[in-house]
Amino acid sequence: MLFDTHAHYDDERFDGDRDALLASMPENGVGLILNPGCDLDTSRKAAAYAAAYPHVYAAAGYHPENLEGGVDLDAIEALARENPKVRAIGEIGLDYYWEKDPAKRKYQQEVFHAQMRLAKRLGLPVIIHDREAHLDTLTVVEQHPGVMGVFHCYSGSAEMAKRLLGLGYYLSFTGVITYKNARKAREVIEIAPLDRIMVETDAPYLSPEPFRGKRNSSLYVYRVAEQIAEIRNLPAEEVVRITAENGRRFFGIQG
């Protein structure tokens, strides 16, 4: 059974069929889903989905693009402590793609550090978002050696991957690896230990080929596993098994 380690079912694009879709996942070969939060509201929604479905788990945190209204890390901490199915702090990190203001980038870094400290205090791993901010993201994580994490939708170089793997981090991949221009990600998959790789959709975004342009969902996570299997010259079933085991170990999920 597949483990989609990163999907945003709080997104409004699922408003019409969210419950039916989530309920259908086990019968469609998706045994586990992790829904991360991007702010307090979506973190609470993620915890609610986890409470409603045995195969759904949650993470709580502030995405770097969701900081304009301020952050309430006390509420995130309370949510994580009160809900046993909240298994990580995330998604957190840095995003410089849109943000060009140096002061706001610095604020992203401050909140990132604070959430790393929160994760350490709670004994939880982190889910890291890194877009166009590779060096600064790496600098932050290296300052928190007691925290275990995964770089979701990994987009860095093979050299950066080696440094992260040396720190004990995991790397997660989306449907982007099925795109023709995904050469860099494929190079990373070629050198990364299989026991440090996870698969995800980032639904409703980043639909894999041949579904590109459509709303993404966990129903398509198998394409990510198939692409990794092709790159590593392995049976797809083995990649499904290994990545699911990696996800369960990382998020502390039994069974």
For the stretch 191-246, pLDDT in tens is 999 999 999 999 999 999 999 999 999 999 999 999 999 999 999 999 999 999 99
Give me the residues of the chain with pLDDT under 70, please. none
Which residues are within 8 A (CB) of 104 and not within 5 positions of it... i.e. 6 or more apart? none
Two tokens, residue 106: 């610095």
Q: What pLDDT shows up at residue 96?
A: 97
Q: What pLDDT shows up at residue 145?
A: 95
d(CA 134, CA 129): 10
Q: What pLDDT shows up at residue 55?
A: 98
Q: What pLDDT shows up at residue 70?
A: 93
d(CA 173, CA 212): 16
d(CA 191, CA 86): 31
d(CA 32, CA 1): 8
d(CA 233, CA 231): 6
Phi, psi angles (nearest 5°) of residue 205: -95, 170
Contact 22, 53 (CB under 8 A): yes
